[in-house]
């Protein structure tokens, strides 16, 4: 089994929610705890770095109860800076690194394994979902202007799993050139590398708005 380190990005301020979405309760546990538990239970994961404020982490967890190494570190003002901080905290022994939005608590162990398996072949992999809805381009007044072909279009999800040297090289380039990438596939593209997309086998939505909590049967 190769050494897979996981970075859970949980440093966001939840501005669009108006409250801490990672502390919202579902089935008796906060969103962040659900996400962490999936990675703790996944045998492929050797260590976990949680990028979030100390107050958030300490209010939700007792570090002494974790069955594998878990480290909390502060994030940055933007997502890519939080990921960079996570990469700096990952063990040098890591062969592969999984980067996951902690606001996606429904990720499955099956999909984490699938992403790692594909990354061992391709070097860079992201879970994703094919676009099946009708897409339209609008004009400046939000009236329909033209259809957008949906062939070869995907909604990008996480985790995204990379060979450690590849994602480190991509983020070195991102930081040196101040590129505000919003996900790691974009970081790879910035150095001319491609990421293999594989379909999620189960729903993997990101909790972003209060409506997401309601449709996901979350309880505040």
> In a structure prediction context, what are the per-residue pLDDT tens digits for the chain, which is 220 residues long?
679 999 999 987 655 555 678 888 877 889 999 999 999 999 999 999 999 999 999 888 887 789 999 999 999 999 999 999 999 999 999 999 999 999 999 999 999 999 999 999 999 999 999 999 999 999 999 999 999 999 999 999 999 999 999 999 999 999 999 999 999 999 999 999 999 999 999 889 998 777 776 655 554 4
CATH homologous superfamily of 4-215: Spore Coat Polysaccharide Biosynthesis Protein SpsA; Chain A (3.90.550.10)
d(CA 88, CA 85): 5
* pTM for the whole structure: 0.93
Alpha carbon dihedral 127, 185, 82, 65, in 10-degree steps, equals 30
The alpha carbon dihedral of 37, 38, 41, 44 has a sign of negative
Residue 37: both structure tokens together: 């538990």
88: which DSSP letter?
Answer: H
Q: What are the b/e assignments for 19-54, b being 16+ CB within 10 Å?
A: ebbbebebeeebbbbbbbebbbebebbbbbbbbbee
Q: So where are the chain's domains?
A: 4-215
Q: Is residue 11 within 8 Å of 99, Cβ to Cβ?
A: no
């Amino acid at each position: 089994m190769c050494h897979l380190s996981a970075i859970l990005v949980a440093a966001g301020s939840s501005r669009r929610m108006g409250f801490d979405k990672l502390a919202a309760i579902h089935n008796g546990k906060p969103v962040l705890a659900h996400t962490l538990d999936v990675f703790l239970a996944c045998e492929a994961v050797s260590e976990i770095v949680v990028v979030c404020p100390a107050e958030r982490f300490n209010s939700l967890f007792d570090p002494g109860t974790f069955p594998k190494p878990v480290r909390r570190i502060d994030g940055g003002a933007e997502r890519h800076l939080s990921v960079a901080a996570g990469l700096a905290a990952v063990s040098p022994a890591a062969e592969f690194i999984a980067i996951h939005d902690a606001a996606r608590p429904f990720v499955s162990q099956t999909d984490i394994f699938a992403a790692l398996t594909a990354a061992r072949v391709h070097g860079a992999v992201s879970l994703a979902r094919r676009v099946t809805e009708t897409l339209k381009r609008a004009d400046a007044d939000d009236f329909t202007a033209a259809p957008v072909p949906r062939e070869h279009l995907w909604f990008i999800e996480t985790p995204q799993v990379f060979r450690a040297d590849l994602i480190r090289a991509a983020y070195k380039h991102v930081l040196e050139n101040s590129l505000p990438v919003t996900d790691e596939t974009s970081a790879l593209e910035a150095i001319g590398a491609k990421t293999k997309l594989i379909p999620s086998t189960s729903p993997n939505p990101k909790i972003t708005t209060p409506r997401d909590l309601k449709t996901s049967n979350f309880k505040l």
